[in-house]
Amino acid sequence: MFHIKDEVLNDLEVNPWKRLRNRLIKFILSPYRLLKALLMVTGALVWGLTLILGIAAFTMLEELPHFAQGDFKYVQEDAQKSVNLRLKTAQKKHKWVTIDNISRELLYAIIMSEDGQFFSHQGIDYDALINALGENIKRREWSLGASTISQQTVKNIYLTQNKTLYRKLQEIITTRRLEKALNKNQILELYLNVVEFGPDIYGLADAADYYFNIPTNKLNAAQGAFLALLMPSPRKYHYTIYQNQHLSKRHLKKYKRILRDMRYKDYISPKQHSQYLTWNFFQ
């Protein structure tokens, strides 16, 4: 004759309290296990995503240009190459002009038009950038970039003209690097030698020769403001403004605003301001 152990007999007994206790324990433990498993899976996903983003960020940072302190000659060579690649006329040779050979009035006309805070910011105008981002979201298109002269310089030399958030991020990072390596006059010289003023017209030397047939050190504020009008869309405005010899109300307003800002900053005298307001570009 054999005996059944007391524990087995207890398990075989129908005990409502024990059954209730087991259900409570199971109820409590199941969500805990589920939550633990969920955290493990999501944690792995988060870490995996973080790793992928980290690798992508590192790759992007390494692919973007690096500049050494005072490395102007190296960047100048890159600027020359970028313009030569864009020139459609193979026989045409790009002319480089140093900032010492550009008239003061012309310099400030371009600065007042494109980036009035150029000498005070560190490459990025964050307030303008945020405002432009808000406006782009409102318009549901990437139409405004709020790029400073430094940003435009980087874009013209090293980046594409695509209007994307990724390209804008590349532009901001490279601009900060350039600002740390070069001084403002060097960046301004680079900019004025690579910016487009019309079809196959790059840099102030070509623009001064093409539009006015005079050297850059002879250009005045009126001529500088006229060139500034072409810069937002140089090929289009070469036709609508220069070839058609017509300034729209919008362009006249901008032209007067540039001269007004220059007068306010004492870059030109009241007499010059009055004289330039009636300047005839199409004589």
CATH number of 64-277: 1.10.3810.10
- Statement: residue 146 has pLDDT above 80: no
Number of alpha carbons in the 13 Å side-chain half-sphere of residue 69: 0
Mean pLDDT throughout 5-17? 53
| Residues 106-130: tens digit of each pLDDT | 999 999 999 999 999 988 888 777 7
Cβ count near 188 (within 10 Å): 22
DSSP assigned state of 38: H
> Among 42-46, 75-79, 88-92, 142-146, whose mean pLDDT is lowest?
142-146
Interacting residues of 250 by C-beta distance below 8 A, sequence separation 6+: none
Mean pLDDT throughout 29-52? 66
**Domain residue spans of the chain:** 1-63, 64-277
Q: Which residue bears the tokens 């400073």?
A: 148
The mean predicted confidence, pLDDT, of the chain is 83
| Residues 225-274: tens digit of each pLDDT | 999 999 999 999 999 999 999 889 999 999 999 999 999 999 999 999 99
Interacting residues of 132 by C-beta distance below 8 A, sequence separation 6+: 144, 145, 146
Strands 196-198 and 201-202: antiparallel
pTM of structure: 0.78
Q: Give the residue with greater pLDDT, 197 vs 8.
A: 197
